[in-house]
Amino acid sequence: MSDAKKHHVTIIYGDGIGPEVVTSTRTLIDAACPNIDWETAEAGAEVFKKGIASGVPQETIDSLNRTRVALKGPLETPVGFGEKSANVTLRKLFETFANIRPVREFPGVPTRFSGAGIDMVIVRENVEDLYAGIEHMQTPDVAQCLKLISSKGCEKIMRTAFEFARSEGRKSVACATKANIMKKTEGLVKSTFERVAKDYPDIESWHIIIDNCAHQLAKKPEQFDVIVTTNMNGDIISDLGSGLIGGLGFAPGANIGHDVAIFEAVHGSAPKYAGKDTINPTAMILSGVMMLRYLKEFEAADKIENALLYTLESGVHTRDVVTDTPPIGTKAFTEAILENFGKKAANWKTRERTAMKIPARPATTRINKADKRETIGMDVFVEFDGTAAELGPKLEAACKGTGFKLKMISNRGTVVYPLTGTSPDVVDQWRCRIYLEQPVTEPSMAQVNKLLESIEAQGLRWMHIEKLCKFDGVDSFTKAQGEN
């Protein structure tokens, strides 16, 4: 039994089925660990209706600043329009940079992979990548989303993956990236992983291309122990993982930061099932189990997990599990787990766990420093409704007398000028790679403005520029498809 120390925890019941699964989880936690002091807070749909665009009121932020731990139900998020996700807002505000999602085969839950021995954890970077949500309509026809990957973000997620592996006695960590295509962003993920792995010689490390990782997850998922990956990749393959073990009803999750941790099920709010007492609370219950382990309440966590697994193994289940025995409702399932406290599933190997070491917050903003840098040019993105054969001469004329020269033009990442003899389809957003005639540390604003004014004089609209730099003699940019 846990000691008398009180743990202060913010509880957010959420939207749709959230109140049902969170209530189920709280009931079990209160029975196993009575020293939790709950503080109720709001986020999501009801908050949006009050006109709070973030979906997270200040009172909830204040609560998490006090408690530093939250158990959160699913929140509704507008799709394709309107406000940003309240889920993502919470993760970003409190820098919960690591999303941890266990994927393990359950007794009494038949799937196509039953008996394979699936037992892995997906560790997903949680605040960067495309989920930074920095988007622009560059033209009425072309949208852009910036994929941001930092050395600091990579360092923290890699160390978290290895530390979590150690805390559960796991033997290997695989890093899944698309570094063969995105050599700067995903390449930074891969190189950081390989550097950090040297600090964990007791754990096997290996790299896998993300599409092959998805293929292998469907083909032989039992080969994986821990997978660490970027935000978008992790979002996709963690849902794939839940599909291997019975669905999102069995997919718990934890969002871990330096100072704050938020525990939530992977599934959404499923409003059409709200209030019907049919939903499977397992994912939320196991998220609560992860929270208890984070709080070092290992005995209480094991009590709930063992009782849940014994209940499933006994053939007691909700409607999403298809077996010969009839399903029961959410409340009855919760009561069955309570009755099975103290029992253990026969076909489940219990892991010996220790507290996970959270990577330290880096003391500086910058991790990598360049001893030498030079700017060799700029990519200027312009809007033009025409052909590459028409645009090229306009750019060449614009460069005259500015100290710049046109190197190439690409459209959707492929070289279209100088003319290649091919005819890729084009859109009205063009990347114009313009080199300085003489590389400098930094071009003057006067020189840059002269070029942009000259481009405008050709009747062209520019949207933004990207400097083309070399750091310690290495290009900081990639070439277009077909660029030499």
* Segment (H or E) for 76: none
The average pLDDT across 409-425 equals 93
CA 212/CA 209 separation, integer angstroms: 5
pLDDT confidence of residue 2: 46
Q: Does the pLDDT of residue 1 top 50, yes or no?
A: no
pLDDT tens digits, 214-259: 999 999 999 999 999 999 999 999 999 999 999 999 999 999 999 9
Task: Give the Å distances, CA to CA, from 304 to 200, 314, 389, 408, 452.
Answer: 32, 15, 68, 62, 64
pLDDT confidence of residue 333: 97
pLDDT confidence of residue 78: 61
Instruction: For 120, list phi and psi in degrees, rounded to 5.
Output: -135, 170
Q: Does the pLDDT of residue 412 top 50, yes or no?
A: yes
The 10 Å Cβ neighbour count of residue 57 is 17
Tokens at 133, concatenated? 């949500």
Q: Is 178 a catalytic residue?
A: yes
CA 330/CA 320 separation, integer angstroms: 11
pLDDT confidence of residue 4: 58
pLDDT confidence of residue 279: 95
Helices (H), 36-183: 45-49, 58-67, 86-93, 151-167
pLDDT confidence of residue 94: 94
CA 36/CA 286 separation, integer angstroms: 17
Q: Is 211 a catalytic residue?
A: yes
pLDDT confidence of residue 217: 97
Tell me the torsion sign for CA atoms 209, 215, 218, 220: negative
Q: Does the pLDDT of residue 50 top 90, yes or no?
A: no
pLDDT confidence of residue 79: 61
Given the residues 62, 211, 259, 472, select the one marked as catalytic. Answer: 211
Given the residues 72, 92, 178, 394, select the one marked as catalytic. Answer: 178
Place of tokens 């208890």: 292
Domain(s) of CATH 3.40.718.10: residues in the chain: 1-97+250-354, 112-245
pLDDT confidence of residue 49: 85
pLDDT tens digits, 52-90: 888 899 999 999 999 999 999 999 876 654 567 888 889
Q: 373-475 architecture in CATH?
A: 2-Layer Sandwich (3.30)
Q: Which CATH number fits domain 112-245: 3.30.1510.10, 3.40.718.10, 1.10.3720.10, 3.40.630.10?
A: 3.40.718.10
Q: Does the pLDDT of residue 457 top 50, yes or no?
A: yes
pLDDT confidence of residue 46: 86
Q: Is 400 a catalytic residue?
A: no
With vertex at residue 231, the alpha carbon angle to CA 227 and CA 232, rounded to the nearest 5 degrees, is: 100
> How much of the chain exceeds pLDDT 90, in percent?
85
pLDDT confidence of residue 83: 64
pLDDT confidence of residue 81: 47
Given the residues 129, 235, 302, 379, select the one marked as catalytic. Answer: 235
pLDDT tens digits, 161-190: 999 999 999 999 999 999 999 999 999 999
Domain(s) of CATH 3.30.70.1570: residues in the chain: 373-475
pLDDT confidence of residue 53: 85
The overall longest dimension of the chain from CA atoms, in Å, is: 83
Residue 427: alpha-carbon gap to chain centroid: 30
1-97+250-354 — its CATH code? 3.40.718.10
Q: Is 425 a catalytic residue?
A: no
pLDDT tens digits, 257-299: 999 999 999 898 999 999 999 999 999 999 999 999 999 999 9
Q: Which letter does DSSP use for residue 347 in this model? A: T
Given the residues 72, 129, 131, 394, select the one marked as catalytic. Answer: 131
The 10 Å Cβ neighbour count of residue 458 is 15
Residue 389: alpha-carbon gap to chain centroid: 41
- Is the bond preceding residue 78 a cis peptide, omega within 30 degrees? no
- Does 347 or 460 have the greater pLDDT score? 460
pLDDT tens digits, 296-350: 999 999 999 999 999 999 999 999 998 889 999 999 999 999 999 999 999 888 8
Q: Which letter does DSSP use for residue 479 in this model? A: P
Tokens at 442, concatenated? 């930094």
| pTM of the model as a whole | 0.93
